[in-house]
Structure 1
Amino acid sequence: MSIKVKKLSSISPLGQLGKFKENPLAFLDELKETDSDIAQFRIANRKVHLVMNPDFIKDILETRAAGYRQSSKFDELKPLLGEGLITSEDPKHKEQRKKMAPLFTKEHMKSYRLKMIGTSEQFYSQQREGEWNLSDVMMELSLACLSRTILGMDLAETKEKIGAPLYQILEVGTKRIQSLLKAPLSFKVGEIKAYASAIDELNKTVDEVILVRNEKNYSPYDFLKMLLEACEGNRLQARNEIMTMLLSGHETTANWITWCLYAICQNEDVKQNLYREVDHVAGRNKLTPAMLERLTYSKKVLNESLRLYPPQWMLGRTAVNDLTYGGYTIQKGDIALLSPYVMHRHPKFYPDPLKFKPERFQEGIPKDVPDFAFFPFGGGARGCIGNHFAFQEALIILSMFIQKFDIQLVDENRIVPEPFITLRVKDGLRGEVWKR
């Protein structure tokens, strides 16, 4: 097999680190334009390979996944997440995933949808017209849906007991993930002290929910009951998985919906089609699970948003031994970068890639797009176990927003993507929102 490789050279001891940190998306976009299968560069003393061939990406995430370990960036969050699904490695990860998988079946999803619908209905009914920071609003609602579904907590409890400490953890944790030089976590002063305090507070809240839950009130599809059973009564492991879902699940979904609202406001035809569908299917009636099945255009809009603005914009894997692709070797200790942001915007796979076109997704993933040219939830054994959960949540939150509100963005020309743990809108997406 003949493969195209672009090798970047640098005389700096830090290699391409400066350019990468200054504007990661622009740096990756520039490499994409080389039309190479792999772009090789250096960050300090580490050799990095941006993989842009879908077959190679599949090999890394699925076929020879055992030859790589995941990025260590989430190690900064281990004080909160422990050995949850994000941070654990095989064989523990494989065992955990097998136990957790039954919680995300279609039958279970039906029960979860009812809780998400009820939470969203209550949340939106409390919102006033005016200028919203849509990023913040979607963060709050996404977290509320998760907390209601997995912990049985109401809106007020979530905001006070979950939201406040979790956002403190995210703020400090994100800074530490992005920083090369940082004080050890044992040095508990300043923001590290606040970080540790927020983790303790959140741990205490979740432990109390687990401890005081009355088993007589369990429904057949109660998430926490099933989680405790999956963890064989190990409350610490159950807490780790809950923290993993709260941290990773709510932020990715919230940013997904935020970018989706931005995209539809930039495309008037898409916006009008979306409003027409929701009005036709739901009207002024309360949203139901049966209605969700009929929101076919809304699902296309969500998929196209995932394509153009994937919250999980980059994945990193470190080779644990030498691995060869068509004569090209990724050596032990090298980093393989896999970027949904790059692949989803690649002109080789998507004609007119920067145009927002929901019709690309007529029946799921476009038939002419190869596997792993679209992978917003990762893939393989480490792919997002809650992808269907997230899609249902996003569909409910978006369609109910469309049903209840109209929107016009404020200063939309200033919108800039901010690639942190997830792909955010820098300084938040602001819009004038009024009831329909």
Structure 2
Amino acid sequence: MSQILMIIGREILDSRGNPTVEVECYLDDGSFGRAAVPSGASTGAHEALELRDGDKKRYNGKGVLKAVSNVNEKIGPALVKEGIPATEQKMIDEFLLELDGSDGKKNLGANAILGVSLAVCKASAEMCGLPLYRYIGGANANLLPVPMMNILNGGKHADNNVDLQEFMIMPVGASSFKEGLRWGAEIFHSLKKVLSSKGLATSVGDEGGFAPDLKSNREALEVISSAVEKAGYKPGEQIFFALDPAASEFYNGKEKVYDLAGEGRKLPSSEMVQFYSDLCRDFPIISIEDGLAEDDWDGFIEMTKTLGDKVQIMGDDLFVTNPRRLKQGIEKKAANSILIKLNQIGSLSETLETIEMAQKNSFTAVVSHRSGETEDTTISDVVVATQAGQIKTGSLCRTDRIAKYNQLLRIEEELGDTARYAGKTAFYNLNL
């Protein structure tokens, strides 16, 4: 038997001290699953709705009691009554979408629906006696991802003069996930020393990256290069760089320009592409996420044409983990990669469908956290289950980020000799 006995939702806090939804699922054989839902800082306009209370007297309007109430009073009782076996994930997720009945999960909230979707999946995995990655991905789930480690922050994730939101390192040349994680940690500590020696701040942003007041975006890449070398590694061989400019955040829609305030420049799309081309010429950048605004399709097409054979051109706000928007991107050749955030689309089945669509069309899929995270490690299992080959889950500090890395260490250890580290094969659609 795998009948759902009870669903319980509650309000908990995320890593930024804001409320979020946690859901527990109990099956009739005693199996149990718990899932907590993350939340973004820079959110795409096309994301599924994250339901907030709007009561300014409580958590500055960010409470999630409405979403929790939807779990406890609507979703839970309806699922129990419907009697769908917990192991029928797709049927359960389709039932949740029907129950919501809106485009974008506006009635029940994506945070309520995703919490239930994941909690049911975890309970089913426990019932089957399988680790989550094996339950979702089957016998072939053995690929450990290359991590995108966010070590320096600007934009919305920090209070400084750097326009681009995230500067990341990727230990592409490592032989295992464990080794890659060690390299990242050593570079993180090396960067702290480099910043201190320059008299710069070593406080960290939402995702654990440093947020120093640097003069320009280029200087950020220079200090990272220095930190990599001082840690004893070779940029462009062992370590590659990745950027998440989050360009929608500094796009001026009226003037149709990108306002790089920190550099005192306003650039149209074509000049932004040239700006990135120059950075890619001077630094070993292997991935650029949201380099242009979320509805700048023409800019993305030009960027993919210019850089797409050597650089991963990734859509986050552009695609919002949505199969419909991804289909557009594939047809227009507007990128070659998609960032996968479970709460952007709001159910596990839709997430897996989007990843499958990407992979079938030679797009890479990078499984990602959000800036507001919890101790939940589901994405670590999802990235192995789907053999996505890349994970983006923050810096080398803050437990909400490290929890995901530690789960991947456990998975790699459990897989033993069958474990494979993606390395350069994670970028199978590039000419490296």
TM-score between the two structures when normalised by the length of structure 1? 0.31
Comparing both structures, which one devotes a greater share of its residues to strand?
2
Comparing both structures, which one devotes a greater share of its residues to helix?
1
Larger RCO: 1 or 2 (CA < 8 Å, sep 6+): 1
TM-score between the two structures when normalised by the length of structure 2? 0.31
